[in-house]
């Protein structure tokens, strides 16, 4: 068993169907959130992201996350502006989930490490950067980026163990179904 998985399964009709169902689950769980999406948003989409990576691997998972982002921010838009940077972040989230979780044994060490990298790269760095770039027309400067980072960082530090524990429980229960062996 390797530390990270860079390969994924072949795309079959069953996996494509599973990808569509998990994309739908991601859309639904992603919409179940509270808070301002441009600053602090707390939701349940991280559960579906982990399931997508666990079942579909890094590359199909990244593709599913792109489709999810496009559906969520164009067809089912709730007033937020579409920004391609968030689509890139979604792809990276799917790839990271697949790299850490696909074909791996579910352990608390792996889940905590995955969530740390996921939160650091996608939520802390990239999302803060995209929000900062979107606010540049309002006269933002480097202090604005640092202030935004300091505003977002405590939420991410608090959510890391909570999300890790939830993902651990969900993936342990899901791994007992042996669904991935039947694909």
- 0.95 surpassed by pTM: no
| Exposure string over 3-25, b if 16+ CB within 10 A, otherwise e | eebeebbeeeeebeebbeebbeb
Residue 3: per-residue pLDDT: 75
Residue 116: per-residue pLDDT: 96
Q: Which two tokens stand for residue 164?
A: 């890790």
Residue 22: per-residue pLDDT: 95
Residue 143: per-residue pLDDT: 73
Residue 75: per-residue pLDDT: 83
Encode pLDDT of 89-114 as tens digits: 999 999 999 999 998 999 999 999 99
Encode pLDDT of 139-153 as tens digits: 666 677 888 888 889
Encode pLDDT of 2-13 as tens digits: 677 777 788 889
For residue 119, name the pLDDT band (cuts at 50, 70, 90).
very high
- 138 pLDDT exceeds 70? no
- 38 pLDDT exceeds 60? no
Label residue 2 exposed, middle or buried (CB < 10 Å: 0-12, 13-18, 19+): exposed
CA distances from 59 to 86, 100, 122, 137 (A): 17, 12, 16, 34
Residue with tokens 């579409």: 82
- 81 pLDDT exceeds 80? no
Residue 121: per-residue pLDDT: 95
């Amino acid at each position: 068993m390797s530390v990270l998985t860079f390969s994924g399964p072949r795309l079959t009709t069953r996996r494509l169907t599973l990808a569509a169902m998990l994309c739908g689950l991601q859309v639904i769980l992603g919409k179940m959130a509270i808070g301002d999406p441009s600053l602090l948003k707390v939701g349940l989409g991280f559960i579906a992201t982990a399931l997508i990576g666990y079942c579909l691997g890094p590359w199909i998972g990244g593709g599913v996350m792109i489709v999810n982002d496009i559906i969520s921010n164009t067809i089912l838009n709730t007033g937020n502006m579409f920004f391609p940077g968030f689509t890139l972040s979604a792809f990276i989230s799917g790839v990271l989930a697949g790299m850490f979780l696909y074909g791996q044994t579910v352990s608390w060490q792996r889940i905590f490490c995955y969530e740390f990298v996921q939160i650091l790269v996608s939520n802390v760095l990239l999302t803060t950067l995209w929000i900062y770039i979107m606010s540049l027309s309002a006269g933002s400067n480097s202090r604005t980026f640092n202030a935004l980072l300091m505003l977002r960082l405590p939420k991410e530090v608090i959510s890391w163990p909570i999300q890790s524990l939830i993902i651990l429980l969900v993936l342990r229960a899901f791994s007992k179904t042996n669904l991935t062996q039947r694909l």
